[in-house]
Amino acid sequence: MLTGATILGIADATHYLVGETDQTGSFSKLPQLERVAVCDSLSEAKALLRSHHYDQASLKLQSAYDEMCGTGDSLGGMIEQSIKL
């Protein structure tokens, strides 16, 4: 599991959530923001992080099936990738 700036995307959702993941895997708001950011596109999410001087983030994607049924692994069926901003 990667820690730091995180972009969450759920299949069929019309937005991405932007925040941070800590060592325990908890997702929360970025320290610079008052709440978890909601972005309409991946490009917007990346631009938001760049505007706060991040150069890397974890992109986590989950399908609706994974969300409902899970796969039993530690990520709960979520695909995680480190991306450069």
Average of per-residue pLDDT values in the chain: 87
pLDDT of residue 79: 84
The answer to whether the predicted template modeling score (pTM) of the entire model surpasses 0.75 is yes
Share of the chain above pLDDT 90, in %: 62
Residues 6 or more apart whose Cβ sits within 8 Å of residue 28: 19, 20, 22, 36
Residues 6 or more apart whose Cβ sits within 8 Å of residue 17: 7, 8, 9, 27, 36, 37, 38, 39
Structural domain of 79: 4-84
- On the question of pLDDT at 76 being above 80, the answer is no
Count how many domains the chain has: 1
What average pLDDT does range 10-30 have in this prediction?
91
pLDDT of residue 62: 84
At 67, the pLDDT band (50, 70, 90 cuts) reads low
